[in-house]
Structure 1
């Protein structure tokens, strides 16, 4: 018995000593311990180490190597590279948007109703486009097929967001005198342009190679530009009408802000600045596409705030937009657009997959 107690005491003392030794090692060598616990990921590489498809103008470093495990690209969420801020800006925007919407629901009237369906579609469209953007920038470096596939997914999100915005603007933000002008064609044309925007971006991604010709911008930008002009027309009319009569509408301020932020974002999307003037200096932080993401995220949040204000204060004019059947039809058109865009993207993914397989053979 005495021997057994001594052995137990000795074992306990050794165990306690071992634990204290490990804590001491963590205190003295924290970085080494973390490196042993966390998965190791390859360091970023320079532009010469990745295929031409993955290179961006004036960005010389911070690229993730291709053909790594999927887990590597997932874990690169926490690694500095030239796509990290593109991922985080839209990831954080999606979280902020969902949080704001949940807070709004706590004080909103009974939900859901027919009146709230366009709002639900709009919020869903925002989440889809932000999430698709996050996935595209996080996983596009996996391979050439993944690059095309995830950017096609991103373009599906863009087209969906365009129609979701049109839906919210039409039902909550449009003045009645403008409604009578656009009512016959606004939502069907918005859905068509959203689909054409997705197709145009996918086609230009497949058809044109670097250095991109100006025709690529035509296929990529023209349908999106026309969609934006149509979708924002009720807001422009609302702003000009409000300011002409001495504006005191809080929602109009947010609508004005969303237009201003979108214009600035479009400028950075179209022009590779500031990296054009400081090549190699904006690789990880500060290049134009990152700035575009920041302003687009802020634009979406300002737009959400404007729509929520209009949702609360303009319920009495909702019935002028049509009966319940037309609201259901408009929201079903949202799902149809999402389905058509996804099918088109899957078809073009098959085209590029066959092209890559033929090239490999």
Structure 2
């Protein structure tokens, strides 16, 4: 009976176009797998196996770090910790959602798109969580209470909605205009990242300009930025598999490396946020307004509801009877 459950693997020309990845020539799962087949396939070698585990395992690392913080901080009554709680929740959410998307995306062409709609939504919430924590702990001293500081969260919510909308829309034009789709999807994630990182860029430039030694927090943030840029490069370049199609089908292709860099970068980002929170607490409590429930947990809840609404709209459009505008999403 076990042998009947082993995943049947296919070459690139045996699966519909929607499932094909640049430079990945083999190891594709059945495009009409059941949910159980998808789960079982995660324990066998396919071209998605490493993608699944490189985000599933880190999820539990971040959950463990959240549990340690919960045991040592008063998240329930200390409002200064609420931005950290939001941030920790989203860094647990995005790798778990990504792992689920890679696991269940081979159930059908519709499931493939919807799984990644949720993946994009989770990344969008991650960008919002970063903005909430950065606005509370990372903002340069001279920017505290400035116009940018006061409107940082509002812009971040807008960026979150832009990210989900643009990345989901990019799937609808991917088969007809692959380059345009890639540009739109990359921009959907780069714009929130650049906006969120503006305080960090300023602090790094100020540190270089004044020739002062970077703080421990700034060093962690610098490593995060390095891995973030590397993540973006791997996501957009499809290297190394583009240079040697078929050589990296199971190990070492860009999406696996992209997952690893993203997780390592998030680890350094988390350390930077924690260090800034601890070392700047007294100064921030004396000079900045304290985080509110509405501006932290409330903002995350609002972002979640709005992003679910966007995902629902795109999913409903996808599940409508095929017409001229959506038929290319179902190409066999």
Question: Contact 2:52/2:99 (CA < 8 Å) preserved in 1?
Answer: yes
* Structure 2 partner of 1:252: 218
Q: CA deviation at 1:37?
A: 5.8
Question: SS where residue 295 of structure 2 aligns?
Answer: helix
**1:266 equivalenced with 2:219 (yes/no):** no
Question: SS where residue 199 of structure 1 aligns?
Answer: helix
* Structure 2 partner of 1:54: 19
Question: Contact 1:83/1:284 (CA < 8 Å) preserved in 2?
Answer: yes
Question: SS where residue 79 of structure 1 aligns?
Answer: coil
* Structure 2 partner of 1:299: 265
**1:322 equivalenced with 2:289 (yes/no):** yes
Q: Deviations over 1:248-302 (max 9, x none)?
A: 5211110000000001111000101111111111001111111111101111111
For residues 192 and 237 of structure 1, do their structure 2 counterparts lie closer, same or farther at Cα, with a shift above 3 Å needed?
Answer: same
Q: CA deviation at 1:97?
A: 1.5
Q: CA deviation at 1:57?
A: 1.2
Question: SS where residue 80 of structure 1 aligns?
Answer: coil
Q: CA deviation at 1:42?
A: 2.7
Distance 2:291 2:228 in 1: 32
* Structure 1 partner of 2:58: 93
For residues 248 and 105 of structure 1, do their structure 2 counterparts lie closer, same or farther at Cα, with a shift above 3 Å needed?
Answer: farther
Larger RCO: 1 or 2 (CA < 8 Å, sep 6+): 2
Q: CA deviation at 1:105?
A: 3.9
Q: CA deviation at 1:332?
A: 1.2
Which of these residues, 129, 149, 159, is aligned with residue 114 of structure 2? 149
For residues 298 and 200 of structure 1, do their structure 2 counterparts lie closer, same or farther at Cα, with a shift above 3 Å needed?
Answer: same
Which of these residues, 127, 137, 140, is aligned with residue 172 of structure 1? 137
- 1:1-361 → structure 2 map (5 Å cutoff): 40-106=5-71, 108-112=72-76, 113-179=78-144, 180-209=146-175, 212=178, 214-243=179-208, 244-319=210-285, 320-325=287-292, 327-356=293-322
Q: Deviations over 1:309-335 (max 9, x none)?
A: 12222111333332454x533431221
Q: CA deviation at 1:38?
A: 7.7
Distance 1:324 1:132 in 2: 28
Aligned length: 322
Q: CA deviation at 1:186?
A: 1.2
Question: Contact 2:73/2:81 (CA < 8 Å) preserved in 1?
Answer: no
Scaled by the length of structure 2, what TM-score is found?
Answer: 0.91
For residues 340 and 110 of structure 1, do their structure 2 counterparts lie closer, same or farther at Cα, with a shift above 3 Å needed?
Answer: closer
For residues 140 and 109 of structure 1, do their structure 2 counterparts lie closer, same or farther at Cα, with a shift above 3 Å needed?
Answer: closer
Question: Contact 1:49/1:65 (CA < 8 Å) preserved in 2?
Answer: no
Distance 1:330 1:267 in 2: 31
Task: Identify unmatched segments of 5+ residues in structure 2.
Answer: none
RMSD: 2.0
More helix by proportion, 1 or 2? Answer: 1
Question: Contact 1:77/1:87 (CA < 8 Å) preserved in 2?
Answer: yes
